[in-house]
Structure 1
Amino acid sequence: MKITRELKTGVIAVLVIALFIWGYNYLKGLNLFDGQIKTYFTEYSNVQGLNTASVVTINGVDVGKVVDIKFNNSPEKRGNLIVEFSVENDFEFSKNSIAKIYSTSLMGGKSLAIVPSYEGETALPGDFLKGEIESDLFSSVSEKLNPLQAKVESVIKSADSLMTGLTDVLDVKSRESLKSSILELNATVTNFKHASANINKLIVNNDEKLTKTLDNATLMTNNLAKLSDTLVNANLGLTIKNIENTVDNLNKVLAGIENGDGTLGKLLTDEEMYINLTNASKELEELLREMKLHPKRFVHFSLFGKKDKGYTPEEEK
């Protein structure tokens, strides 16, 4: 049987088309020779660099590829990205499983990992799995450094404000005054050192005297303790009580005198008695003055027992 040129051309064209289709799907991550392929869907707001032909893994084993990434046309989820991925393995998992985007290297390559769950209804091709994004090293460091960076910037601003304030306050005159104060402080510290050295020297030179003084103080303390014991044994409380009784009696006597009780009280409070005593004192003073000036009026003396003829005013003259 002779094969015509047209047949050869048709066969070659079919093979080229089939090869093209196979190559296109292979580049998309689909191998047409692997039999029936199961595809699932998940959704993200940001795919973090995930692209078609990215590897899909389960527990670290490659089980498929990312087939397609397209925008969600739903008005409620506008801007979200729907990721279609294939699973060439017969491994079964439930609809509660998670499709997580993770970094495969420090260079930022992304892959899709299925975190399987075995509870609930088994996932079928075409089902949607919950999508999550795992923070990579740089994202984690960046998230932790962002608050620290804000705090550092705040501290730097505060330090800058402080330095500006210090510059405004510490003008040339203030800096000179501060320098002078520091020098005076150094001098004070030096003097204190000298004084401390002198005190130490004084203590060393008078160590024996200080020891004696402390011994005397101890002896005095012991004597005071003995005196305290003596006062306690001497029934000091009874003595103080007797003194209190005496003071009470004295207060009663003074109160009686103030109230006019008794002779002394009447003498101090009776005005008439005071006037009488004053008059008697005056009369006694006049009598003594009269006796001093005219003693013959009051004293009569005769050597021979002659009777006194009586006093006449002319005799005084």
Structure 2
Amino acid sequence: MKLTNEVKIALVAIVGIVLLFFGLQYLKGLRMFSTDEHYYARFSDVTGMSASSPIYANGYKVGVVESIDYNYADPENIVATISVDNKLHLPKGTRAEISSDLLGNVRLELKLGPNPIDVLEKGDTIIGAIQQGMMGKAANMVPQIEQMLPKLDSILASVNALLASPAIGNSLQNIETITSNLSTTTAELHQLSASLNRQLPQMLTKADGILANTQGFTKQLDGMDIAATMTKLDQTMTNLKLMSDALNSKDGTLGLLMHDPQLYNNLNATMSDADKLLIDFKEHPKRYIHFSVFGRKDK
């Protein structure tokens, strides 16, 4: 039987459609003749997840999301059909979490239950939720950032006003001057340190001499009779006390001189008369000395 051109074109079109369908399913990660196990995941929110979203367990891809059924009568009850490799047995208590990375790629993470022996049956339903990843945490921070924006604006305005102030320039110039002075001081300290390093041996030698003299003086102190010295000092203090008592007493000459005003006045008058007599003697010595070659006296 000879096929006409129309039949050939129709067959080619059918084959192309079939290949295109299987190719699209393959690109989505779905396998038409696979032996994967099917489970159901129940969500109240499937933001970002769609059919053909990959499924991972411990970072390894184990399946894909085949379909999502939205219940219009119960919007909080969204069921997703997931296809998982039949080699993976899901323990009871396994959860499905929707996660996304910084690039916005969404995937379903299976958090396996604690008991690997007690596993779910094919077609069982697991609990689903949205994972609070980096994007979720960043979204939660948006209200706080919005509240901080007016404060940040005020702070930036204050910073701009501060930077525009001429005091900043003056402060920078002062800092430059201080830095220059510090450099000069550092150089002088370096020179002083070098000078001290050169003079240190001589200083140590002098210090050794001082220590030696101190030790010699200490030895001399050790050799002195401290008890005898203290006895002599006590005797000297006793004599000074006796002298002081004698001066304060009216019995002795010095005491009377210090305490008897009449005696003091008489002595003062006597000294004054003696001074006058001496002056008169110098001016008229002939009144007191009579001398003649012939033995005659002048009257």
TM-score by length of 2: 0.47
Larger Rg, first or second structure (1 or 2): 1
